[in-house]
Amino acid sequence: MTVALYVLDVPEFEPLVRAARTAGMEVRGSGDYLELTAGGDEVLLRREGTGIRTALWHAALTGGLDARIVSFTSDIIHLTGEGQ
């Protein structure tokens, strides 16, 4: 299973992209969006240390995803490819 998250390709989301890379996700451009993918069954992104504001963190999933949300809080985004 693959986990994919799509975020708008703007500087405001760069901290989230860095967190995704740290979590082992690959980043690929897709038009106005970046496609963040993980080849494993799940991914855990942590807001701590990114410097991203809470409002932007909560907007992270507005570009869409190809995954199931396990947990989405002010501190973590936990996604899985299982059970999609």
Domain CATH number, residue 29: 3.90.56.10
Determine contact, residues 47/75, Cβ cutoff 8 Å. Answer: yes
The list of the chain residues with pLDDT below 70 reads 83-84
Domain count, the chain: 1
Which string of b and e fits 66-79 if b means at least 16 CB within 10 Å? ebeeeeeeeeebbb
pLDDT given at position 84: 56
Beta bridge partners of 35: 6, 28
Range of the domain at 55: 3-80
The C-alpha atoms of residue 6 and residue 62 are separated, in whole angstroms, by 8
State the amino acid at position 19 in one-letter form: A
